[in-house]
Amino acid sequence: MNDEASRSDTPRKERREPYRVRLPGFVSEEDVGLGDAIKRATSTAGIRPCGGCGRRATALNRWMVFSGRHPR
């Protein structure tokens, strides 16, 4: 059997969990994504969001999440 053919039949879109970084005292009990944290910081600095900012924030949120609680 051809290994390449069997690999192409399997779906490649596997949803990975984001990396979790625990920051007790700095982050509330609610999870905050990296993209959301950057968006808040740039908004506070007075930088207006562009069209790509939302897409980048979503991608960064899928990559890393800050949490204030213990991992499950």
70 belongs to a structural domain: yes
Q: Which domain holds residue 39?
A: 20-72
The token pair that represents 66 in the structure block: 């800050």
15 belongs to a structural domain: no
12 belongs to a structural domain: no
71 belongs to a structural domain: yes
Into how many domains does the chain fold? 1
11 belongs to a structural domain: no
pLDDT of residue 43: 92
5 belongs to a structural domain: no
Q: Each residue's pLDDT tens digit in the chain (72 positions)?
A: 555 554 555 555 677 888 888 877 776 778 889 999 999 999 999 999 888 988 999 999 999 998 876 656
Q: Which residues contact 26 (CB under 8 A, 6 or more apart)?
A: 66, 68
Residue 27: burial class (beta carbons within 10 Å; 0-12, 13-18, 19+): middle
37 belongs to a structural domain: yes
53 belongs to a structural domain: yes
